[in-house]
Chains A and B, each alone.
Chain A
């Protein structure tokens, strides 16, 4: 089988996903288009050799609808032979898109492909696409649907994460993100977003709150108490009846931020690299997606990671750097416990609690982040993974070459 290599990885800075966010005026198709342009312009590839573009998008409706990946390729001026398709694996969509792009290279379906993602959460709000899962009574009852915040609090309840535990994790995420920005650690991947007259509208992750402290977080009220009282706590307990009550510990300060952004990763065969004079930055060692219990929903990453390790014939100790999307603090705390990972080896540059989680794009973003970190630190292997709605996990292992 052909090996799949990563030749480049780019991302937008993340804008606050609100009306006062810097990227609110930028359309999602522009966010995606500019990333594809950047890939082409930075590598100098002939886009007629890019067989496909896969873009993750979690609310593919409205201006994010109608196969935003194909339209972005057209819009970026790619060769008209470059196909495109949108991928929805909820929060792991961006990573899944890269995995599919890699799989296409591995199987010989494609010589080069781009995986990435886009989400303008300020313009197409989370949940805009509806769906049977939360809404259709027969499905919601059958699957014991609860919103993710309840799931995150359920994890904290079952595994005994206190409010202090999750807040401390969030404070550290903010500290790491600030330190990384101060040390210019993201500069390799960041492509500033431009407006229609070519002006930079955003060149840094604007969601961060480096002044965050235990004290400032302590003042925040837990976010999911009312929702829980309304009935969702009860639904969760029906699935986990050994619990007397849910301990609500998550709030805006220890959950991932709502932001706008896009990312893209160029994957191709060794021959393609040689053809365009590109140095492969890393090889994709293995990829895995897994379903897990949908009500607790967010414990999938450890299972996905184990599956990816097994497929790569690797063990935990073979991984130098871990990256897990910080959807909620308890998700990362549980992952570290489940795989016995030291905090110093995971999310070393901070994560979505500090910098935000543009749903469809995040997976591709954190893969780029962890690749930059390997190169910076001179380490070799990394595993990137994300928890996913409806109980799933997706993981990718990369190795520098």
Chain B
């Protein structure tokens, strides 16, 4: 009957609303669906022949949430508070109409309204889950893959169509807070246990079961519209359990968000403030907090980088056009160290055969042990069946014989980072593999163009840079050598897609994009120690800026001696062009004089107690790098970390290492953990304002050194009033060709 909803009334007078967006694989709440649902609800309510309604989906999933492109476009837009409220309250109003029949409170309490039941055949997230909760009765498909949840917080928003009000009124505030502030979905069994589902049924039967309920139900009313409704577990400021919940949740949320993610506080505020008022007032409060978040740059930046652009690159937006998609069936993995072992695992996991080669059989087997351990853990935790796990392991063949690589259709090299070793391994491999097989290097430090010289087909040589641990880190940085061709890039992207990782494509440069920029974070921390900034302030400021760990802690993980070696190699390679950093002196003293290498030798910036106690900052730092009397403010330290990284990212952009702003943002967040709430360094610069950023970077350069000097490109952009993401442009500014 409408564009997005089929409307059929059966012989019992039950309307079946089947949501089925045209030309889409998933139902999402967009403007059309909202309009159509409004029309259908009105029709159900107005038609005396219709007794009640069942809402279901014509697709495998119920509704996957709101159209984030639509929300992304709204984010940060300038509206008056009245306009903002009107637009935010629309869906709340519609769901409330469905729930109450638009009757006033007294009449509703007396006579109820026409029953609406949800027949949830597949996952219902965000606005989809909110629609389910607004229905009087909920039949959920008993499918192990069922997900019911509110992922909004992961893009800086909150469920703004009654989700923050109906869920706690069903499951209690504490349980609801856990779900809504993390975005973690419920499965069908838990939904039944918590009373979210009234019944579970096979997916094929959900509509019939929902209809059966409507048939026997003359009128319905939500529990919170009944007189004397009480929150499970209590609510508000006077209930002791609720007080404990909020006092605890407030602390925990501040610990987890470091005050960087306003959505978490807004969600808790909706629970708190909505918990002491009637439902109609509560959803108005919710809509106001929703709009507050949508107007905050955090939501817009998170939606763009963490969702829209991440999905775009995963769906192949970086892939050159006109090249046939290929599937890697047999991967040749050179080197069974930590990285090689991880790559073998993630590849075998998606069904690829893997030849795992190392200098002797024992080393190769040791690399396979990595997969054996992960499979064992997975089986123990019930995440993977024994059969699937065994099959995965069977796909990994270990060897020390290069001849075994001959049938591979992609080679990835992850041997020791030394030019001579790389050379001999590359040559030995090329001798046995097919004449059109692509060779990829997982180097993180050596320029690809240089390594390509070891291969007679440099156009088929490429960098595929993984992050450790490979099975956990989502990003893969693909590096184009000077001569790498499009077909090679396409194959690399096809492979990354096969292993379900998020790719970015960059051009060749020392440290490429991610390692180069990430290094500036650690080095800035080292510079500060050298200057006499208190180490605890450095670490806390890093975390409070939104980085996952402090620079000194991460420096220990990377290992100071490795930083020292890479630094020496870079110095040698660049000669006169090498720019000395204040961090160099710190690293040299720690490694050469003090033999503090990091976690690996149990002593670095931190002390690692042998009794398993928690690590703590090495008190000796203060002896060797005396703490200054004047300490910088927290904001100054945070700003240094953020601006330093962003300046380096902007240089990569100017130099053509990056191809566009969105790759830079995605690579930063998923590669080295750049503060996700900012949306990445380019979103960060935009949010600050390019001109303001340039001024701040200039100030820092004056105070701390030329490493902060912004590239000319930023000055030009500031001059012209340009930014990285023009209104409506999600991919962002395109860099000049390298």
Binding site for B on A (CB under 8 A): 127, 130-132, 134-138, 140-141, 144-146, 230-232, 234-235, 237-238, 241-245
Q: Which of B252-260, B363-371, B562-570 forms part of the interface with chain A?
A: B252-260
9 A-B pairs besides A136-B237, A230-B251, A244-B535 with CB distance below 8 A are A127-B243, A130-B238, A135-B243, A135-B250, A145-B250, A230-B255, A231-B252, A243-B540, A244-B617
Interface centre among A134, A232, A242 (most CB of B within 10 A): A242
Question: Which chain B residue shows the least CB distance to A139?
Answer: B250
A138/B255 contact (C-beta < 8 A), A127-B243, A241-B541, A242-B631 known: no
CA distance A230 to B249 in the complex (A): 9
CA distance A235 to B248 in the complex (A): 12
CA distance A395 to B634 in the complex (A): 33
CA distance A242 to B254 in the complex (A): 18
Interface centre among B254, B544, B616 (most CB of A within 10 A): B254
Q: Does the CB pair A141–B259 fall under 8 Å?
A: yes
Q: Does the CB pair A243–B536 fall under 8 Å?
A: yes
Q: Does the CB pair A235–B251 fall under 8 Å?
A: yes
Q: Interface residues of B: mostly helix, strand, loop or mixed?
A: helix
Q: Which 6 A-B pairs have the closest CB atoms?
A: A231-B251, A137-B268, A231-B255, A241-B540, A234-B255, A140-B250
A244/B536 contact (C-beta < 8 A), A137-B272, A141-B265 known: yes
Question: Which chain A residue shows the least CB distance to B638?
Answer: A241
Q: Does the CB pair A137–B536 fall under 8 Å?
A: no
Q: Does the CB pair A136–B272 fall under 8 Å?
A: yes
A241/B537 contact (C-beta < 8 A), A135-B237, A135-B250, A138-B265 known: yes
Q: Does the CB pair B250–A137 fall under 8 Å?
A: yes
| Shortest CB distance B174–A (Å) | 14
Q: Does the CB pair A242–B534 fall under 8 Å?
A: yes
| Shortest CB distance A156–B (Å) | 16
Q: Does the CB pair A230–B248 fall under 8 Å?
A: yes
Question: CB < 8 Å: which of A130, A234, A245 contacts B243?
Answer: A130
Give the residues in chain B near A135, CB-CB below 8 Å. 237, 243, 246-247, 250, 272
- What are 13 inter-chain pairs, A to B, with CB distance below 8 A? A134-B243, A135-B250, A136-B269, A137-B269, A138-B269, A140-B247, A140-B254, A141-B259, A230-B248, A238-B258, A238-B544, A241-B537, A241-B544
The verdict on B539 contacting chain A, using a C-beta distance below 8 Å, is yes
| Shortest CB distance A104–B (Å) | 33
Q: Does the CB pair A130–B237 fall under 8 Å?
A: yes
Question: Which chain B residue shows the least CB distance to A245?
Answer: B616
Give the residues in chain A near B259, CB-CB below 8 Å. 141, 238
Question: Which chain B residue shows the least CB distance to A241?
Answer: B540
CA distance A292 to B621 in the complex (A): 33
Binding site for A on B (CB under 8 A): 237-238, 243, 246-256, 258-259, 265, 268-269, 271-273, 534-537, 539-541, 544, 616-617, 631, 634
Give the residues in chain A near B243, CB-CB below 8 Å. 127, 130, 134-135
Give the residues in chain A near B539, CB-CB below 8 Å. 244
| Shortest CB distance B604–A (Å) | 15
Q: Does the CB pair A235–B540 fall under 8 Å?
A: no
CA distance A135 to B272 in the complex (A): 8
A-B contact count (CB 8 A): 90
| Shortest CB distance B296–A (Å) | 14
| Shortest CB distance B675–A (Å) | 15
Q: Does the CB pair B252–A230 fall under 8 Å?
A: yes
| Shortest CB distance A92–B (Å) | 23
| Shortest CB distance B738–A (Å) | 40
Question: Which chain A residue shows the least CB distance to B177?
Answer: A137
Give the residues in chain A near B631, CB-CB below 8 Å. 242
Question: Which chain B residue shows the least CB distance to A237?
Answer: B540
Give the residues in chain A near B268, CB-CB below 8 Å. 137
Question: CB < 8 Å: which of A131, A230, A231, A241 contacts B536?
Answer: A241
CA distance A227 to B255 in the complex (A): 12
Question: Which chain B residue shows the least CB distance to A233?
Answer: B255
CA distance A238 to B546 in the complex (A): 12
| Shortest CB distance A358–B (Å) | 22
Q: Does the CB pair A137–B246 fall under 8 Å?
A: yes
CA distance A137 to B259 in the complex (A): 12
| Shortest CB distance A231–B (Å) | 3
| Shortest CB distance A140–B (Å) | 4
| Shortest CB distance B631–A (Å) | 7
Give the residues in chain A near B273, CB-CB below 8 Å. 136
CA distance A140 to B252 in the complex (A): 11
CA distance A140 to B269 in the complex (A): 10
Give the residues in chain B near A134, CB-CB below 8 Å. 243, 246-247, 250
Question: Which chain B residue shows the least CB distance to A144?
Answer: B254
Give the residues in chain A near B535, CB-CB below 8 Å. 244
Question: CB < 8 Å: which of B247, B254, B544, B634 contacts A141?
Answer: B254
Q: Does the CB pair A242–B255 fall under 8 Å?
A: no
| Shortest CB distance A162–B (Å) | 16
CA distance A134 to B251 in the complex (A): 9
Question: Which chain B residue shows the least CB distance to A235?
Answer: B254
| Shortest CB distance A235–B (Å) | 5
Q: Does the CB pair A235–B255 fall under 8 Å?
A: yes
A244/B616 contact (C-beta < 8 A), A135-B247, A137-B272, A237-B540 known: yes
Question: Which chain A residue shows the least CB distance to B242?
Answer: A135
Give the residues in chain A near B253, CB-CB below 8 Å. 137, 141, 231
CA distance A131 to B272 in the complex (A): 12
Question: Which chain A residue shows the least CB distance to B614?
Answer: A245
CA distance A244 to B605 in the complex (A): 13
CA distance A13 to B272 in the complex (A): 40
Question: Which chain B residue shows the least CB distance to A146?
Answer: B251
Give the residues in chain A near B534, CB-CB below 8 Å. 242
Give the residues in chain A near B537, CB-CB below 8 Å. 241-242
Give the residues in chain B near A231, CB-CB below 8 Å. 248, 251-256
Q: Does the CB pair B254–A234 fall under 8 Å?
A: yes
Give the residues in chain A near B255, CB-CB below 8 Å. 230-231, 234-235
Give the residues in chain B near A238, CB-CB below 8 Å. 254, 258-259, 540, 544
CA distance A135 to B265 in the complex (A): 12
Question: Which chain B residue shows the least CB distance to A134?
Answer: B247
CA distance A214 to B670 in the complex (A): 53
Question: Which chain B residue shows the least CB distance to A232?
Answer: B251
Interface centre among A137, A237, A242 (most CB of B within 10 A): A137
Give the residues in chain A near B250, CB-CB below 8 Å. 134-135, 137, 140-141, 145
CA distance A202 to B271 in the complex (A): 46
CA distance A230 to B244 in the complex (A): 12
CA distance A137 to B534 in the complex (A): 31
Give the residues in chain A near B256, CB-CB below 8 Å. 231
CA distance A238 to B537 in the complex (A): 10
CA distance A141 to B631 in the complex (A): 25
Q: Does the CB pair A241–B237 fall under 8 Å?
A: no
CA distance A20 to B252 in the complex (A): 35
Give the residues in chain B near A241, CB-CB below 8 Å. 536-537, 540-541, 544, 634
| Shortest CB distance A124–B (Å) | 13
CA distance A130 to B631 in the complex (A): 38
Give the residues in chain B near A144, CB-CB below 8 Å. 254
| Shortest CB distance A27–B (Å) | 21
Question: Which chain A residue shows the least CB distance to B270?
Answer: A137
| Shortest CB distance B314–A (Å) | 34
Give the residues in chain A near B544, CB-CB below 8 Å. 238, 241
| Shortest CB distance B178–A (Å) | 14
Question: Which chain B residue shows the least CB distance to A243?
Answer: B536
Q: Does the CB pair A242–B265 fall under 8 Å?
A: no
CA distance A131 to B536 in the complex (A): 33
Give the residues in chain B near A131, CB-CB below 8 Å. 237
CA distance A346 to B631 in the complex (A): 34
| Shortest CB distance A248–B (Å) | 14
Give the residues in chain A near B258, CB-CB below 8 Å. 238
Question: Which chain B residue shows the least CB distance to A145?
Answer: B250
Give the residues in chain B near A138, CB-CB below 8 Å. 265, 269
CA distance A132 to B536 in the complex (A): 32
CA distance A3 to B200 in the complex (A): 79
CA distance A127 to B246 in the complex (A): 14
Give the residues in chain A near B247, CB-CB below 8 Å. 134-135, 140
Give the residues in chain A near B249, CB-CB below 8 Å. 137
CA distance A237 to B539 in the complex (A): 11
